[in-house]
Amino acid sequence: MDIKLHTPLEESEIINLKAGDSVLLSGTIYTARDAAHKRLIDLLDEGKDLPLNIQGETIYYVGPTPAKPGKVIGSAGPTTSYRMDAYAPTLMDLGLKGMIGKGDRNSIVIETIKRNKCVYFGAIGGAAALIGRSIVKSEIIAYEDLGSEAIRKMEVKDMPLVVIIDSNGNNLYDIGKSEYLASLE
């Protein structure tokens, strides 16, 4: 059964999520990849404000393709998340609650997820067109010069996701490996 969530994410909702839960996410999310993340951290290091308020927000690690005529956006599949691992803890400490991507995260990110009661969602790699259909609105809000890696504000409706790392640090990748190895015994 899918769990329906709406952004901004509330801690009271996040703490009930478990690694492996299927989620349908609706509301506003933001996009950012490594180049945009570096610029965000550079702004913070300079004592400047970010171009968005990240309190309770969710960032999707994606560089979507251009929209075809009559469409809001092109393909919007997740990018590999570890490239944001150097930046994610700072943003979570400032109030970011959700991240969407693919692949595992490092131990520092996992500890920060636990400390701040955040959640890391996995989007299905290879299903970029399907994910793109759940995006109903998209506008660039910062770093237009980065092209597909610009920061976008998106409205999503029932975006299909899986909880990969829950607020207790339970990691679906580790759980899956353990269950598989146990099945071999």
Confirm if 78 and 32 have CB atoms less than 8 A apart: no
Q: Quick one: which H or E segment has residue 25?
A: strand 22-31
Distance CA 33, CA 63 (A): 7
Residue 41: which of 105, 102, 100, 86 has the closest Cα?
86
- For residue 8, whether the previous peptide bond is cis, meaning omega lies within 30 degrees of 0, is yes
Task: Pick the catalytic residue from 23, 31, 37, 128.
Answer: 37
Distance CA 7, CA 22 (A): 16
Q: Which two tokens stand for residue 118?
A: 């955040």
The answer to whether residue 6 is catalytic is no
| Residue in the structure block whose two tokens are 């207790």 | 168
State the catalytic residues.
37
